Structure 1
Amino acid sequence: MSKNPTTAQERLERLTADLSGARVSSRAGGRLRLNRSSNLLLGAALHAAARVDRNLALTDLEQQLVDVLGKVLTEEGEVAAFGRAYTQATARGAVDILPESITSRPVEDGYALADLLTELPALGQEVMAQPNFSIVDVSRIAPGEPLDSEEFKAGMAEYGRGITIVDGPPLDRAAEETLGHFALRMHSFHCLVESHESGTDEIYWGLAAGSDTSVKKSWTTREYHEVSSGSWHTFDPGSYLFAGSVRESMAAEIEVWEADHSGSSFMASLRDVLSEVSERAAEASKTLSDMDSEAEKAAQFAALVYVVAGLLDAFLGWITNEDDLVLKRTIRFTRAGLAEMSRRPNGEDSWWFGGGDGGEHTLYLRCGEGAVRAIADGWPGLKNSAFADSRGAAVTSGQHTYFFKGTDYIRYDNTREVIDVPPTKIAAGWPGLQGIFIASLGASCQVPGDTSNVYLFRGEYYTRYNVRSEETVVPSTKIADGWPALRHTPFASSVNAAVKVPGSDTDVYLFKDDEYVRYNTSSESISSGPYKIAAGWPGLQGTEFTYNIDAASEVPGSDEDVYLFKGGHYVRYATRGDFIRP
């Protein structure tokens, strides 16, 4: 974990105060006591620390919890010191912030995963009965209307946390049998009421998400300054809560903080905790996918969220002034709920965040469903032509995209959505080309920094061609010689697809089989890779585009997106957010 913003002595003093109830008057301490049942894992972790102090063998669950504790309690012997503090507190009797099922357990008795699983069902039902838990069917709420009831907002303010399950009408069977691809973008937030501290507020957001396909994301926004009652603030471009594939559900944690006392070391620690949350969110989403009953999934989600949140909330309380926290919300989005959200006007819904004296805000999220589309639908001018099947190459130059297939090519006008050069022999339309390149092409792409030049690949050879002057700039050359850093890679023998890296004047992406590489044509070096496409382009997971991509091309006017083609399908992919565009 990043450098800890508190000392070992300060952390021990905070734990001791929590266990004795001395911090109950603070906002953070009050929440810890109110959410007693959620502190099941926290209690298990402290119980495990006590067993470490006595050199007792740990259960598998206890070892995992001690490993997590070690990320926050970084000094030698600190975990054992926490264990002694816990033992002393439980010797005095019940501990108000911890479940009695933990504190009444003798230190000699380990706490195993089976013990946790036994307690979760009852805990789930308890959590679902609390006022800070809600289930929302988006289809039953009119567009523009708030998703949060007044009763639920009051419950969140009281507990300092909200748990929501977002659902929608059942998907049809065809949709259920494939993966969905979604992007949730942080669009803006509206300060309804500023905090009661002097001056305007400085606000930032902590975000973590994970889906049942193991797509994970965690980060913190920048600080937004001069936040006052009535002010509106738009998030920076590329601010995505989540972008990627979903089979049945994804879970997200959204936190809003005041930046008044948050130093750089705390920000780094918060990012580490959020990373841990995204891991747990992905695990929880996969666990829920194995259950049949929606009621069972809801209860299990509520329980899992609460026990993990209790542990991580305690972490933050030990390393910072948690009174800077306005509110935390954990949301499980079912795939049906995401699909319904994406059909709202602008894909937008609002979410309430309020923390009493800490201020009150409305967050606006926009949801889009990415699509693997038929080439004939997205490129209507190609309908009923042989080029609606992409088994060839493609390259964009200016407002035109050239599609190659066998010995022929066409030129497509991206503005008018028509073919303005009909199927023509490559030898006739590209007179400067010679030899193997007039028979067929394996891949093609723009030369970075030069819109009139393109690279063309076939087998182990490539050439550079000027589209405007219609002449070969670099004659047929072996890839291994002209792209020397590729010499000992699979890309030296052939390239399936190629595309200029959006926004770059030096780099291109090359694809082959299930791998890709990013190459710097200026320094003649590999910028990154070779990597598996599924790993480096996570938004493609679960689609046919993780192997044997047929072609790729630039998106005119975009410094972020590329088109990828395979067979009769294509996707528009956002390389910065790593997701398929709607």
Structure 2
Amino acid sequence: MTSSDIYVTAAFKSVRQNEVYIFMQNEYVLCDYAPGKKYDKILYGPAHIGAVFSSLECTIFGELGITCAFASHDLGIAYIFSGNICAKWYYGLYSPNNKILEGPKLIVEMFPFLNGTVFANGIDAAFESSRPFEAYLFKGDQCARINYSANGQLINNAPIRQNWPCFKGTIFEHGIDASFASHNPHQAYVFKGDLYARIRFIPGVRFDVLISTGRIKDYWMGLQRILPRKNTIYCSNYN
């Protein structure tokens, strides 16, 4: 059993405008994140993942939590991760019909092209590109761009500071805890501990801009009231 300060461990945007699912290990909130403003609002939660999403109850995601996620370009579907395990998940859109479509399975079984990379044993953060069926992955100070379609491939793999010049000289060049793509085209949010940043990017081009950065407590009025979490993770069934 472990307990410590927990901030954002994963996130992905909903198909509903300006709504995002934010995970704090085995808890989550649904949030209206009010892009570019300080008026984010928690719409639901905090709640235990397994208590709300029946398909994740008694799975590694419900027990140990979700440590990375990104929304698919197939509506209502997300890829979720916990350690080196992942699943393709239909999250239900306010209905009780959430279900796991594929998995849980090893990352390298879901994405064979990641075998032999640092991402095979776990992914810290991810968000979908504005290009269909492409996503960005982060692990430590490394990042990758992938195509996750049926004919998926690893497009590139390099240090964060090389592929994302806007992070040079910031804490984010050394790693990212969580991220999600904004509903505003070509924008994304990243988190590390109690810090966040909003960026603008162009897929396939090293031309990215750090729009804003700061502490969660100063810019996220909804999240500041619940973070950090002190939830406890029981690890007895998942060694």
Does residue 573 in structure 1 map to residue 196 in structure 2? no
**Deviation of 1:548 (Å):** 2.3
Does residue 539 in structure 1 map to residue 163 in structure 2? no
Partner of 2:104: 476
Residues 213-252 of structure 1 correspond to what in structure 2 (within 5 A)? none
Distance between the aligned counterparts of 2:10 and 2:86, measured in 1? 13
Which residue among 66, 71, 77 is the counterpart of 1:453? 77
Partner of 1:424: 47
What secondary structure sits across from 1:428 in the alignment?
Answer: helix
Deviation sequence 1:19-50 (CA, Å, 0-9, x none): xxxxxxxxxxxxxxxxxxxxxxxxxxxxxxxx
Does residue 396 in structure 1 map to residue 13 in structure 2? yes
Which residue among 21, 29, 33 is the counterpart of 1:414? 33
Does residue 443 in structure 1 map to residue 71 in structure 2? no
TM-score of the two chains, using structure 1 as the length reference: 0.32
Distance between the aligned counterparts of 2:33 and 2:173, measured in 1? 26
Distance between the aligned counterparts of 2:25 and 2:80, measured in 1? 14
Amino acid at match of 2:48: K
Unaligned runs of 5+ in 1: 1-385
Distance between the aligned counterparts of 2:126 and 2:104, measured in 1? 17
Deviation sequence 1:367-392 (CA, Å, 0-9, x none): xxxxxxxxxxxxxxxxxxx87x32x1
Amino acid at match of 1:491: F
Which residue among 116, 119, 126 is the counterpart of 1:488? 116
Partner of 1:564: 190
8 Å CA contact 2:12, 2:69 repeated in 1: yes
Over 2 Å off, 4+ runs = 414-417
**Equivalent pairs, count:** 191
Deviation sequence 1:452-499 (CA, Å, 0-9, x none): 100001111100111123111112011111100001111011000010
Partner of 1:497: 125
**Deviation of 1:545 (Å):** 0.3
What secondary structure sits across from 2:100 in the alignment?
Answer: strand
**Deviation of 1:428 (Å):** 1.0
Partner of 1:519: 146
Distance between the aligned counterparts of 1:413 and 1:580, measured in 2? 22
What secondary structure sits across from 2:172 in the alignment?
Answer: helix
Amino acid at match of 2:174: Y
Amino acid at match of 2:168: Q
Partner of 2:136: 509
Does residue 465 in structure 1 map to residue 89 in structure 2? yes
Deviation sequence 1:410-460 (CA, Å, 0-9, x none): 11023562111121110011111142111212100101x223100001111
More helix by share: 1
Distance between the aligned counterparts of 1:487 and 1:393, measured in 2? 22
Distance between the aligned counterparts of 1:515 and 1:470, measured in 2? 32
Distance between the aligned counterparts of 1:547 and 1:485, measured in 2? 24
What secondary structure sits across from 1:451 in the alignment?
Answer: coil
8 Å CA contact 2:11, 2:180 repeated in 1: yes
Unaligned runs of 5+ in 2: 213-239
Residues 64-103 of structure 1 correspond to what in structure 2 (within 5 A)? none
Amino acid at match of 2:107: I
Distance between the aligned counterparts of 1:406 and 1:515, measured in 2? 22
Distance between the aligned counterparts of 1:550 and 1:444, measured in 2? 11
TM-score of the two chains, using structure 2 as the length reference: 0.76
Distance between the aligned counterparts of 1:504 and 1:559, measured in 2? 10
What secondary structure sits across from 1:581 in the alignment?
Answer: strand
Partner of 2:226: none
Distance between the aligned counterparts of 1:401 and 1:489, measured in 2? 29
RMSD, aligned CA: 1.5
Distance between the aligned counterparts of 1:561 and 1:477, measured in 2? 30
What secondary structure sits across from 2:179 in the alignment?
Answer: strand
Distance between the aligned counterparts of 2:170 and 2:33, measured in 1? 26
Distance between the aligned counterparts of 1:458 and 1:565, measured in 2? 17
Amino acid at match of 1:482: M
Residues 325-336 of structure 1 correspond to what in structure 2 (within 5 A)? none
What secondary structure sits across from 2:65 in the alignment?
Answer: coil
Amino acid at match of 1:420: L
Distance between the aligned counterparts of 2:82 and 2:25, measured in 1? 12
- Larger-Rg structure: 1
Amino acid at match of 1:578: D
**Deviation of 1:559 (Å):** 2.4
Percent identity over paired residues: 27
**Deviation of 1:542 (Å):** 0.3
**Deviation of 1:406 (Å):** 2.7
Partner of 1:102: none
Distance between the aligned counterparts of 1:513 and 1:543, measured in 2? 14
Distance between the aligned counterparts of 1:464 and 1:506, measured in 2? 13
Per chain length, whose mean CA-contact separation is higher, i.e. which structure has more relative contact order (CA < 8 Å, sep 6+)?
2
Distance between the aligned counterparts of 1:405 and 1:491, measured in 2? 21
